[in-house]
Amino acid sequence: MKILHASAEYFPYIKMGGLADMLASLTKVQAQSEEVYVALPLIGTMGKEPQWTGKEFKALLAEDTNEKTMAVSLLAKARFREAEESGVKLYFFDSELFLNLASIYGQAEEHYRFAIFSYACYALSQILKVDAFHAHDWHTAISLALQKNSSKSIPSLFTIHNLAYQGDHPFWMTGFLKEDPFRLVTSPFDHDEKCNYMKVGILSAGQITTVSPGYREETLTEPNGFGLSYVLNKRKANYSGILNGIDPDEWNPESDKRIFQTYNLQNWKEGKSKNKEELYREIGRPNLPLDAPLIGLIGRLTYQKGFPTFLQAFLERRHLPHRYVVLGSGDPETENAFFHLSDTMPDVFYFYKGYNESLAHKIEAASDFFLMPSLFEPCGLNQMYSHAYGTIPIVSRVGGLKDTVEESIDPKFKTGIVFEPNDVGSLGYALERAKDLFVSPDRDIVVKNMMKLDWTWKKRKLEYDNIYKSAIERLQ
């Protein structure tokens, strides 16, 4: 089977969140048995220089070359440049719209830039004659409308990674979608009097998935449907939840070259202690006690991630022996609060603003617990990384977190600590339970439970295979 993925992110080239990791690890496994292609933008600042093959492909179909619009002109000048990574063929969209970008998101005219990219992805699917077209999130949703309207429509799948981000724009900004080469009727895409790209994907795709069964159920009702639950309910029969997986070549404490000392199920205590010692030295806190629990937090500092709830719970439970290392950036108010704690309580709290892949691995390896206080979480990957590294996750009972972390009374089935979302008291009590578990003999049992879990793509790849087959059958 030939599969083309269309995405704004792909690790290690463009990474802003879990989408990049998810797609890189999924396609790596798919490429073992299928022909797998990924279309993504070529931006000015990349995480890695692509290994170019020298091949190029057009971004505009021949039947659209005679039209005279700005979009056609831009696409005529653009190209897809082919590269290769782990058996996957990558097609970087080389266009003046993206080349000067230092970051893929948060730029002016995203509505236009991603629509142009979406057409190019649609064109590439036709040029490569793929069997299945798989678009990810609102940035590539317009390509699905083009597939649906095409006389040469290709079976399609749309994966929702986060319904909170929908790409909705006033209709006066999206009039170009009615012109060549799009030629779309945009009235069905109306939501709250805006052209909603996420709604485009939901209405147009042959099949729809999201990244966990729990999140699927949550999005079918409000408020977690973010206004689109009614559309998802219309497509409910074609809407599935499939958990993400992780790449054991990237996230494995036994072979991880980014951490200070590798370890496994047999020597995890020694390994964690050494990693904690070296991490404290690297961050300039060499005198922090190794026998106190270390809690790691990594993520974008956004409303979704629930950091204000954590801050309040932390201040109310400051008597606990925990130390905290936080890696992330985002909301300025949250950043300032973390900087303040890092400066005024250096023996308890450390904050690194930004994202650092190497430091993220070191935090996972050194931490005894990993906290995810999300208000909602489509899937989450850090709890799976934490399981692999013997780092006990403390998570809110939402989405993919509740699908992957179990706090059983019986330690033989326990794989973490779970609390209620947006509840300071519940999170505070979870921190209390973490203190008790740290010194309990049950900790050994829980860590072994976690490190034996298999969160690789082996099973989930088969689930996607079945979805592709359903999309193909639906079009026949």
d(CA 144, CA 150) in angstroms, rounded, equals 10
Mean pLDDT of 113-122: 98
> Could you tell me which residues are beta bridge partners of residue 296?
325, 370
Mean pLDDT of 137-150: 97
Q: Is 452 annotated as a binding residue?
A: no
pLDDT for residue 292: 98
Q: pLDDT band for 67, please (50, 70, 90 cuts).
A: confident
CB–CB of 83/92 below 8 Å?
A: yes
pLDDT for residue 422: 97
| Percent of residues, the chain, with pLDDT higher than 90 | 97
pLDDT single digits (tens) 338-363: 999 999 999 999 999 999 999 999 99
Please report, in angstroms and rounded to a whole number, the separation of the first and last CA atoms in the chain. Answer: 16
| Percent of residues, the chain, with pLDDT higher than 70 | 100
> Could you tell me which residues are beta bridge partners of residue 419?
396
Q: Find where tokens 């300071």 sit.
A: 424
Write down all domains in the chain, each with its CATH number in brackets: 2-245+457-475 (3.40.50.2000), 267-451 (3.40.50.2000)
pLDDT for residue 227: 98
pLDDT for residue 17: 87
Q: pLDDT band for 122, please (50, 70, 90 cuts).
A: very high
DSSP 370-409: EEE--S--SS-SHHHHHHHTT-EEEEESSHHHHHH----S
pLDDT for residue 171: 96
Q: Which helix (H) or strand (E) holds 41?
A: strand 35-41
Mean pLDDT of 279-286: 98
pLDDT for residue 66: 82
Order of all β-strands in the sheet with 294-298: 349-353, 323-328, 294-298, 369-372, 392-396, 417-419
Distances (CA, A) of 77 to 63, 352, 399: 16, 41, 43
User: Structure tokens of 283?
Assistant: 């961050």
Catalogue the E-assigned strands of 161-247: 168-170, 190-191, 194-196, 207-210, 239-241
pLDDT for residue 184: 97
Q: pLDDT band for 475, please (50, 70, 90 cuts).
A: confident
Mean pLDDT of 223-239: 97
Q: Find where tokens 């170019």 sit.
A: 52
Average pLDDT of the chain, as a whole number: 97
pLDDT for residue 68: 86
pLDDT for residue 65: 85
Q: pLDDT band for 414, please (50, 70, 90 cuts).
A: very high
* 3-state class (DSSP) for residue 67: coil
Question: Does residue 114 register a pLDDT over 90?
Answer: yes
d(CA 331, CA 341) in angstroms, rounded, equals 16
Question: Does residue 117 register a pLDDT over 90?
Answer: yes
pLDDT for residue 270: 98
pTM score, whole prediction = 0.95
Other CB atoms within 10 A of residue 192 CB: 8
pLDDT for residue 108: 86
User: Structure tokens of 258?
Assistant: 């980014």
Catalogue the E-assigned strands of 330-379: 349-353, 369-372
d(CA 133, CA 154) in angstroms, rounded, equals 6
Mean pLDDT of 403-426: 97
Mean pLDDT of 70-74: 97
CB–CB of 313/424 below 8 Å?
A: yes
Mean pLDDT of 298-327: 96
Other CB atoms within 10 A of residue 302 CB: 17
Q: pLDDT band for 442, please (50, 70, 90 cuts).
A: very high
Residue 143 burial by CB count (10 A; 0-12/13-18/19+): exposed, middle or buried? buried
Question: Does residue 476 register a pLDDT over 80?
Answer: no
pLDDT single digits (tens) 364-404: 999 999 999 999 999 999 999 999 999 999 999 999 999 99
